[in-house]
Chain A
Amino acid sequence: MLTWPNFYSQLLNGLALGSLLALISAGLTIIYGTLGVLNLAHGALFMLGGYAGYVAYEETDSFLIAVVAGAFFVMVVGFALERGIIRYFYNRPAEDQILVTFGIGIVIVELVRAAFGNLSKTVPPPAWAAGVTPLGFMIYPTYRIAVLGIAAATLAALYIVLYRTRIGMVVRAGIEDALMVNMLGINVYRVFLLVFGIGAMAAGYAGIINAPVVSLTPDMGENILVQTFVVVVIGGVGSFSGAVVGGLLAGEILSLTSMVDPAYSEVMLFVIMTTVLVLRPQGLLGVQGRE
């Protein structure tokens, strides 16, 4: 479908898709960038946010409450996981961290499956963003346009918290030298708890924001996790702005390749990732040599 209208459509769609991917990837990269833990339960937390939002929506019929519920429920789960399990793994080998978070992910997915079954659940978009918007060259779902704005605003807010506030400064100092920060009288473990909670909340928030675009199934996190990793690797592991750039790039790759040959759009994602890894192993915006 190589026509100009389709090209514009796919360009816009790539942006919308990319902003969602960036939002989902942000939580993963925040946790890895600060705590050094590769959180393989991220996809499950993303799914959990969608389901928590779904329950809230069914109870209240309010999308706003669903978003708040989805984000906060997963944040609380994140706190519990950090206190109960994750913090015992900060000083253990990366393989242990990967295995434990992978296991947590499986448990969460199967709990949700036991509670809600395999049939998909849907959360409709808020009334003001329902339906389609004519854009001249095409019509586009209004909610997907709204997601562009929502994702941009959220990512900006996260950026400000992490890079322009005192707490963000402590977090970043904690990454560089946790022992030193501790000796300065700052409880670094409380900061780590907060970071894990924020990372989990970002996943849950993305889950409920994404919900009206898709339909919820217990397994939805699995495939999105793969794409999220690609985004993070392209952008630079642990780099917040890298996640944004990587997300947008991935969205455009998926969309634009599908015009030429849809069977290759996902393959192309991995081609680009491999190319980045060969030419710039730390990712587009990653810092070389940082653990």
Chain B
Amino acid sequence: MTVEQKKFSRVTRRGVLQAGGAIAASAALPRLAFADDMPAIGTWPAGSAGDSVFIGITVPRTGTYAASGEDELKGMMLAVDHINGGDPLLRKISPKTTKGVLGKEVKYVVADSAAKPNQAVEAQTRFINENKVVLMTGSTSSAVAVALNHFAQREHVLYFTAISGSNDTTGKDCVRYGFRQNFYAQTAAAALGPVLLKVYGKNKKAAYMTPDYTYGHTTQKAMEDFLTANGGWTTVTNQVSPLGAPDFSSYVLNVANSGADVLINVNWGHDAVLSTQQAKQFGVLSKMKLVFPYQIPFLAKELGPDVTEGVYVATDFWWTLEDRFPLAKMFVDSFQAKYGYRPEWGAENAYMSFALWADGVERAGTFYPPAVIKALEAGNHNDSVVGDVYFRAADHQLVRPVVIVRGKAPGDMKNPEDFWEVLDVVPGAPLMQAPDAFGCQLGDYT
């Protein structure tokens, strides 16, 4: 129950007058400030009526994806600090930022999604009702991202995905109110595929291990389509498993007996760690080359460099990009100073998303969601930790490079976090499908 409601529950003449006056005042204010072409929508104008605005965050803090979730959350908290303090790094991405967003302090509320869509939607519903959030964010599972996409469109509250690798997020499940910063199945396959063909050759047999939801299915298909069409690879088995399976031995055995040359492991979070460890236990890794289409935060740290050595992976960001991009250096330095380790790409994605949102609002000059969306759709170019980026208006996907890395041998590591060697930063635009190829229809502004 909000303060206003409490006032009503004990009805006195004075109480009614006070509350009525408050309502009249709050209703009149935005009308004075803004023209009638910005009618109330979603949490606007209530969410930005005060001197602070709230962001609703739902990341997995328990379950298979918990480690990634915590890393994402740290990136978000750093971004909020930088927005409120007008940090130089943030101002390089969002040049109009001074302190806060449109002068308002940014606050956030956090809930654990456990990577479950219903839990995330429930928490965001609460944040909209109680905190009048002006922005929702958070996902590690694309199932959550897709659910929050549709929820955002229905509630008319902006949503930036956190990690989401499925083609559907800016494909068939895209919405006007949803935006995605990170790379995804299609661009991962288009960037990593040519490398695999060059290194391992044509006409190879591939085995896949795939988590049973939208990210897994679209990523597996994107890899398979690319490798089949361009290199004549065949798929000998595709081991689909449920999220958070306690044991992968039966799937691994099928892979072991498949006669494949390459094992492409699409699993995520601890599932990726466990399935790879068990593949090693069953001797699979001595027979097959291992590939991850998606670099999973903390993967090499958990598996150990002896497993990831020589393994090719696509990623959004790796900290050694600090040698190539000045903003990456600033980001890695401030993150490490605050949290004591070098950021994974979950944190980078979260930080960049917040910065791009802040820039969109500053350029719109208002929190009115349709105006912010139009500002983000305007094709404005921003500097980022991986160079120049911009949102594609037709599907709200950020056009950004995909980074190809290869696992370093234990002896080549210069520090305990020096797991991957950056081989290439592949420009994003040529990797992407036509905006409508995956069935994206953004829907209405209001």
A residues with a Cβ closer than 8 A to B are 1, 3, 5-6, 9-10, 13-14, 16-17, 20, 109, 113, 117-120, 122, 132, 138-141, 143-144, 213-215, 217-220, 222-224, 227, 254-255, 258-259, 262-263, 265-266
Contacts of A13 in B (CB 8 A): 249-250, 253
Contacts of B238 in A (CB 8 A): 262
Of the listed stretches B1-9, B91-99, B240-248, B345-353, chain A binds: B240-248
Apart from A218-B66, A262-B239, A262-B250: 16 A-B pairs, beta carbons within 8 A = A1-B254, A1-B257, A6-B257, A10-B250, A13-B250, A113-B66, A120-B274, A120-B302, A139-B256, A141-B282, A143-B281, A214-B277, A217-B64, A258-B251, A258-B254, A266-B242
B133 to chain A, nearest CB (A): 26
Q: How many residues on B have C-beta within 8 angstroms of the other chain's C-beta atoms?
A: 36
Question: Do B257 and A132 touch across chains, with their CB atoms under 8 A apart?
Answer: no
B271 to chain A, nearest CB (A): 10
Question: Do B298 and A119 touch across chains, with their CB atoms under 8 A apart?
Answer: yes
The reply on B232 being an interface residue by CB < 8 A is no
Question: Do A227 and B257 touch across chains, with their CB atoms under 8 A apart?
Answer: no
Question: Do B241 and A262 touch across chains, with their CB atoms under 8 A apart?
Answer: yes
Contacts of A265 in B (CB 8 A): 250
Known contacts A6-B253, A214-B274: A119-B67 contact under CB 8 Å: yes
Tell me, in angstroms, the Cα distance from A144 to B62 when the chains sit together: 28
- Residue ID in chain A nearest B65 by CB atoms: A118
Contacts of A224 in B (CB 8 A): 246
Tell me, in angstroms, the Cα distance from A284 to B343 when the chains sit together: 52
The reply on B405 being an interface residue by CB < 8 A is no
A200 to chain B, nearest CB (A): 20
- Residue ID in chain A nearest B244 by CB atoms: A223
B residues with a Cβ closer than 8 A to A are 62-64, 66-67, 70, 212, 237-242, 244-247, 249-251, 253-254, 256-258, 270, 273-274, 277-278, 281-283, 298, 301-302
Tell me, in angstroms, the Cα distance from A144 to B247 when the chains sit together: 12
What 8 pairs across the A-B complex have the smallest Cβ distances?
A263-B240, A258-B250, A6-B257, A118-B67, A118-B66, A255-B250, A141-B281, A1-B254
Question: Do B247 and A219 touch across chains, with their CB atoms under 8 A apart?
Answer: no
Contacts of B237 in A (CB 8 A): 1
B258 to chain A, nearest CB (A): 6
B246 contact from A3, A132, A218, A220, Cβ within 8 A: A220
Question: Do A259 and B254 touch across chains, with their CB atoms under 8 A apart?
Answer: yes
B277 contact from A17, A215, A223, Cβ within 8 A: A215
Tell me, in angstroms, the Cα distance from A222 to B242 when the chains sit together: 14
- Residue ID in chain A nearest B114 by CB atoms: A219
Looking at chain A's contact residues, is the secondary structure mostly helix, strand, loop, or mixed? Answer: helix
Question: Do B242 and A213 touch across chains, with their CB atoms under 8 A apart?
Answer: no
B270 contact from A1, A16, A117, A215, Cβ within 8 A: A215
Known contacts A120-B270, A265-B250: A215-B256 contact under CB 8 Å: no
Tell me, in angstroms, the Cα distance from A5 to B253 when the chains sit together: 10
Tell me, in angstroms, the Cα distance from A120 to B283 when the chains sit together: 21
- Residue ID in chain A nearest B255 by CB atoms: A1
Contacts of B302 in A (CB 8 A): 119-120, 215
Question: Do A223 and B246 touch across chains, with their CB atoms under 8 A apart?
Answer: yes
Tell me, in angstroms, the Cα distance from A196 to B373 when the chains sit together: 59
Most buried by B among A6, A20, A117: A6
| 24 A–B pairs (Cβ distance < 8 Å), ordered by A | A6-B253, A9-B256, A9-B257, A13-B249, A20-B247, A109-B62, A122-B277, A144-B281, A214-B247, A214-B277, A215-B270, A215-B277, A219-B270, A223-B245, A223-B246, A254-B250, A255-B250, A255-B253, A259-B250, A262-B239, A262-B251, A263-B212, A265-B250, A266-B242
- Residue ID in chain B nearest A109 by CB atoms: B62
Contacts of A5 in B (CB 8 A): 257
Known contacts A262-B240, A262-B241: A139-B251 contact under CB 8 Å: no
Tell me, in angstroms, the Cα distance from A23 to B63 when the chains sit together: 23
B168 to chain A, nearest CB (A): 18
Question: Do B249 and A17 touch across chains, with their CB atoms under 8 A apart?
Answer: yes
B152 to chain A, nearest CB (A): 27
Contacts of A132 in B (CB 8 A): 281-283
Contacts of B64 in A (CB 8 A): 217, 219
